[in-house]
Chain A
Amino acid sequence: MSSVLEQMSSAVSNAPAVLQKMKRNTGCRMIGFFHPVIPEELIYAAGIHPVRLFPYFDDSITLADSQLQTFLCSYLRAEWDQIVKGKYPYLDGAIIPRSCEAVTFLYQTWRRHNPYQFIDYINVPWKRSENAISFFAKELGRVKRDLEKFTGREISKDSLSSAIEVYNRNRELLKKVHDLRKSKPPFISGLQAYHVVMSSFVLDKREHNGLLEQLLTELSRRPQSLKAEVRLLLSGGCVIDSRLWGMIESGRAMIVADDVNNGSRTFWHFVEDRTNDPLEALAKRYATVPCGFNTSIADRFKYISEMITEYEANGVIFAINKNCESEKFVYPELDKKVKDKLHVPTLNIETDYLIDMAPLRTRVEAFVESLKV
């Protein structure tokens, strides 16, 4: 494996230590957030390091149960459990979107028990109309003021524009890496791509851009020899369990494209740069992120079918977390469309925090066997 890939995957598996070290070395503030709909540029421009929140420790959920019922998404319960246990001392606060219901719930619990200094909630619109975008821009303006109050420093238009530039560059590079999966066989596995994307949630974006450039050169010089008899698209909400990605690819299949919160949805669309109104540009872009909660079945189908065609996937695996309501609600009609209109076979598996992979493996293997050409 390339050294850059190793670096990235270790940044993911040691995220808390990496961040703790960054905090020690730079002293910078850190704000956590959920889901790809939070305009990170805003946080970045405020001189704060944005960190996407995931339960990084494998630890059974004990304390969270007295606040969050077990019928809520277990990733979020685990995250909250670990926060309550004080496992993320480097955080200074969080910004939580109105995205899936569970996240909004977590916000409510969070603000009541407020474990850090800063907490904010962003009303992400569930629509992409003009009304919605201009509202979203105002909402971002409000959050911008909250952040300015928190740091005591103005977020200038210039710093916003340059944050947008850094982020767009990151998206461009991530997209290039993603495109390496188009070839047959793909130049990079799904699990590797997972680490590439997930490491962007931990590392500083400029540093990450550097690593991505290095990775692209490395891979073009020394292509990996990978095998993919079956090409899969992975769809779901937050598919954050690396064991799952690894398990799916342990046989003859490879994940060549994904439609998940911690994958392509994060970098698929660009922010219009060099505009007069960066907030408006951010609003426009972040209202478009195709997450489960804000995207109609028709739009999701469009997103997936383009992906299936472009990346020549022969099957779709829906890996939806237990209690992930928005994804579960989209799944039945979306699945029907994929099968009826694209004639692409699908498999539905239910994941859960720290779930045992063995039963899932049986299903995935049988599915892959049925697809083998």
Chain B
Amino acid sequence: MVEKKKRERPAFNRSIAAAISKHYKDVQTNKPMAYLLMASNPLVEIAYAARIQPAFPENYACACAAGHASAGYCETAEAYNYSPDICSYCRNHLGYIYGPGENPPTGGIGEPDLLLITSSACTHYFKWWDALHEIYGKPLIFINTPRVMEPQSKPDFYMDYAMREIEQAIGEIEKAVGVKITNDKLSEAVKLSGEVVDYWQKLLEMQKAVPCPMDYSDLSNALFVLIVLAGTQEGVDLMRETYNETKQRVNEGKGILSKDEERHRLLWINIPFWYKLGIFGYFEDRGCVFPLSDYTHHIWGTTRMDGSKPIESLARKALEGELNTSVDDQIDKLLKDAKEYHIDGVIAHSNRSCRVLSVGMLDAVDIIREELNIPALVLDCDHTDERVYSDAEIMNRIDAFLEMLA
């Protein structure tokens, strides 16, 4: 049997872990606090500009899954009539609300004073926040933006609508919390968010190096900074630290695996199994790294932000996120990047919860197989609801895939 190795993880992980635990303290104590969503959206920067503490139920679901609390929360939500057809991020959160238990992971995510939402990902968002609105009776501010199916020929009035929605939301937020969001503050937040994105893009670029400097879990840790801290100086500092360390690793030729050990570079499609991140270690023990994923590379952090044009930048952020575009667009990006990142195999998680990221995947996998002539494995599973995961079945498929690559 292959030996399980202990690998030294980049040091930035510790700083990020500290930031995460600080964040979960902040959401309990700072007021006013608002629930926000994670998909590329303009409300994070606006919240920071208004000195509102954002909290992210989706991120909380990841934390709960990592702490193996999600299955229980999903069960509770189901007992409150939330069907298993609903994304497990949402069920995790609703289950937590209806029955947090004695020791919720990270100490809980707190009760919101405000609910801020956009439509830039799946239909769940609006439905989820609307249910929260019923449960908490707190103001719900909703930015509706169109889905962009043809990014190349996007009509101008799409941008106009997004911008007007953002302006209107800013007014509503000011009214709800009694704070003036000045242009300066907004510009500052957008500028800082832009700096985070710039570092992030450079960070991703370095994943092209052989050997690959970071593994999937390092990168998804850094996602916390990209999303939750977008618009703060803290975020810029952390992302810079992450970038600097990674750059040094690349310069020294240091990778997660050594150059000799790294035998395969795989593409991971969709969200990982948050309750089983160890799976990446399993792959690494067998000479495989994941330099590329749509989840880390494409669905957020792709919009360049310009502090001098805050509203426009925010509108672009809402429209350009991959969850707001078409599968064709996603496939094009995957094809292009798979070549640049020297990908030679694909693991696609057909995630019954996140349908936005899963539908079209069967086509995508077919196209990648054909155009790049590399093998692909589809795994049916769920990102948060551990009850859907069957170790024997998943590992069997993975083993067969690895034997095929060998």
Contacts and interface: CB of A to CB of B under 8 A. Distances in A.
B360 A132 contact: no
Contacts of B160: 135
B359 A105 contact: yes
A66 B362 contact: yes
Given A142-B155, A332-B131, A324 B85 contact: yes
Given A297-B130, A331-B81, A332-B81, A131 B168 contact: yes
B387 to A, nearest CB: 15
A330 B168 CA distance: 26
B144 A329 contact: no
Interface residues of A, number: 49
Nearest to B119: A126
B358 A69 contact: yes
A297 B131 contact: yes
Given A111-B328, A328-B86, A132 B123 contact: no
Nearest to A100: B123
Contacts of B380: 69
Contacts of A298: 134
Interface string B331-370: 0000000000000000000101001101111110000000
A370 B82 CA distance: 24
Contacts of A105: 355, 359-360
Contact of B360 (A108, A138, A297, A320): A108
A326 B122 CA distance: 10
B161 interface: yes
B384 to A, nearest CB: 15
B165 interface: yes
Interface string A131-147: 11001001100100000
Dominant SS at the A interface? helix
Interface residues of B, number: 47
A101 B122 contact: yes
Contact of A69 (B124, B142, B144, B362): B362
Given A108-B328, A325-B123, A333-B134, A127 B360 contact: no
Contacts of B158: 123
A337 B131 CA distance: 12
Contacts of A322: 85
A350 B81 CA distance: 12
Contacts of A331: 81, 83
Contacts of A104: 147
A112 interface: yes
Given A69-B358, A139-B146, A329 B127 contact: yes
A30 to B, nearest CB: 23
Give me the 10 closest cross-chain CB pairs, A-B, nearest first: A329-B127, A332-B81, A123-B146, A135-B161, A105-B359, A328-B83, A108-B327, A333-B134, A127-B144, A138-B157
Given A98-B146, A111-B326, A325-B127, 18 more contacts: A66-B362, A71-B85, A108-B149, A108-B359, A108-B360, A111-B328, A127-B142, A131-B164, A135-B146, A135-B160, A293-B123, A293-B126, A296-B130, A296-B133, A324-B85, A325-B85, A332-B80, A332-B82
Interface of B: 80-83, 85-87, 90, 119, 122-124, 126-128, 130-131, 133-135, 142, 144, 146-147, 149, 155, 157-158, 160-161, 164-165, 168, 326-328, 350, 352, 355-356, 358-363, 380
Interface of A: 66-69, 71-72, 98, 100-102, 104-105, 107-109, 111-112, 121, 123, 125-127, 129, 131-132, 135, 138-139, 142, 293, 296-298, 320, 322-326, 328-333, 335, 337, 348, 350
